[in-house]
């Protein structure tokens, strides 16, 4: 059975989606230096609430782009977010994306210290990675809290922290903790977020750094 839906070529789907998003945003004001990120998140979620809930510290997007141009490593708290980060864009910039959640030593460290694997993976990244770091937390508030603790005690100084965990338990509190820090950050205030949001923000920064436009 054939349908009467409009025929859109695969290469034009993203372009048409962005046109729809721009039209539906209407006169809603978006800052020029963050509009592409907001639209990328809306594109990934079909949720226009992010036009209001995404919070950017001053210069956060520029800090993320500069880090990627310097070959930063993006550290995610889930393999789902890792899978969503554009590998071609990373390779073009000489950047990398990593997730340590499935490493055997992470499970052992979490068991030994009575923490979550997500928190243990942040500690592992802080100890073992060098160079510019971008942390993208889309699922686990425990990971975001541990990052804030490491930053607070001087053990970690990332180029950017993307704090967009989703859920109900300690989610809002973990985001507010990040918002209280001077570290460059992008936060989705409230309960919404997720791995797809974290990946979308990373990709928006990667695309900007590589010169790709919406």
DSSP-H helix ranges across the chain: 10-25, 35-45, 50-53, 60-69, 79-84, 87-93, 104-113, 117-128, 141-152, 171-179, 195-210
185 among known catalytic residues: no
30 Cβ neighbours under 8 A, 6+ residues apart: 38, 39, 51
Of 30, 43, 80, 179, which is the active-site residue?
A: 43
Cα radius of gyration (the chain): 17
Pairing of strands 133-137, 185-188: unpaired
Handedness of CA 11, 90, 84, 48 (dihedral sign): negative
Q: How many CB atoms lie within 10 A of CB 65?
A: 22
Contact 125, 75 (CB under 8 A): yes
Write out the catalytic residue numbers.
43
């Amino acid at each position: 059975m054939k349908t009467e839906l409009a025929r859109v070529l695969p290469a034009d789907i993203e372009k048409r989606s962005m046109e729809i998003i721009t039209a539906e945003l209407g006169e809603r004001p978006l800052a020029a230096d963050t509009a592409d990120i907001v639209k990328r998140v809306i594109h990934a979620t079909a949720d226009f609430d992010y036009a209001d809930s995404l919070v950017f510290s001053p210069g956060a997007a520029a800090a993320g782009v500069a880090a990627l141009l310097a070959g930063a490593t993006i550290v995610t708290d889930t393999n789902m977010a890792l899978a969503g980060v554009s590998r071609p864009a990373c390779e073009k910039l000489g950047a990398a994306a990593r997730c340590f959640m499935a490493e055997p030593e992470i499970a052992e460290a979490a068991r030994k210290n009575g923490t979550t694997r997500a928190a243990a993976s942040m500690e592992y990244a802080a100890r073992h990675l060098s160079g510019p770091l971008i942390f993208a937390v889309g699922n686990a508030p425990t990971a975001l809290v541990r990052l804030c603790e490491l930053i607070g005690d001087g053990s970690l100084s990332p180029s950017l922290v993307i704090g967009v965990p989703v859920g109900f338990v300690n989610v809002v509190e973990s985001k507010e903790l990040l918002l209280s820090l001077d570290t460059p950050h992008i936060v989705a205030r409230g309960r919404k977020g997720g791995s797809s949001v974290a990946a979308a923000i990373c990709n928006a920064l990667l695309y900007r750094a590589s010169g790709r436009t919406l």
